[in-house]
Amino acid sequence: MFYLGQIIEYHHDKGYGLLLDHNSAQSVVFYIADFPKLGGQPKKGETIKYVIINEQGTLKAHQMIRLDVAMSNELKNKNINIDKQKNILRRSKSEGQKFGFMSVVILVIVFGFVYFSFATWNQYQTYQDEQHNKLTLLEHQQQQIIEQQRKEIGYVKPVKFSEKSQNALINGDHNLVRTEHAQVTVQSNATVETSSMVKSPYQCDGRTHCSQMTSYDEAVFFIKNCPNTQMDGDHDGKPCERQFGK
């Protein structure tokens, strides 16, 4: 059984002292050989926890525990733990600040990348729209030029391939077809140039029958240059033969 007592005296030269028991108020002897070495020499007024044994008829303290020293060590350990916790908190705060800074940097980088991508995409779309508008305008201008040329030139009868060209096309003689087609193209271009160089006194105005013609030359012009004419029934190139005596 453990008892609590307080050192009331200690004789350093003799190596023993006395404890005053808290419960019985009796004195109990203790020897330095049994006293804990941790904490230095016994101090008057120090609280001791101990067991009483009977040694040759004398009661003495045994298995002594220095409660004041133990409490002091515990407080020291607590102070150490508190300092350790403070260091941990300080380190956590520093790491938190670093993490916050890195988070801000990452957000700025991500925002910059998104903004750059969006700006690039808008610029590309604008470029595509400009190119499309330019192409549309060019096509419209070309269409207007073609229509103007058709009005100035008048109607040009379609050119028919000869029987030889058609047979060559069927048999796969593409070179011959291309040659004749090139010749026809040259002839057509020559016809167009001639027509554009020499202004005709006649123009296509929708008339298609001989009764609407005022002269043979006018009828010839109409069957050569105007569509849907019905003035050359035998297709010999001579229109309105009975009307004009040809």
Q: Where are the domains of the chain?
A: 2-72, 156-199, 201-246
d(CA 136, CA 242): 52
> Six-digit token pair at 155?
């109607």
Task: Compute the 3-state secondary structure of the chain and give helix, strand, coil in percent, each to the nearest 5.
Answer: 55, 15, 30
Task: Specify the pLDDT at position 171.
Answer: 63
Task: Specify the pLDDT at position 170.
Answer: 64
- Superfamily covering domain 2-72: Nucleic acid-binding proteins (2.40.50.140)
Mean pLDDT by 10 residues, the chain (246 residues): 90 91 88 87 91 85 86 60 72 79 90 90 90 89 84 63 66 52 51 53 91 92 92 88 84
Task: Specify the pLDDT at position 196.
Answer: 45
pTM higher than 0.85 for the full model? no
The answer for residues whose C-beta is within 8 angstroms of residue 43's C-beta and 6 or more apart is 7, 10, 68
Task: Specify the pLDDT at position 200.
Answer: 77
Q: Collapsing DSSP states into helix, strand and coil, what is residue 17? A: strand
How many Å separate Cα 119 from the centre of its chain?
A: 12
The count of C-alpha atoms lying within 13 angstroms of the C-alpha of 194, restricted to the half-sphere facing its C-beta, is 8
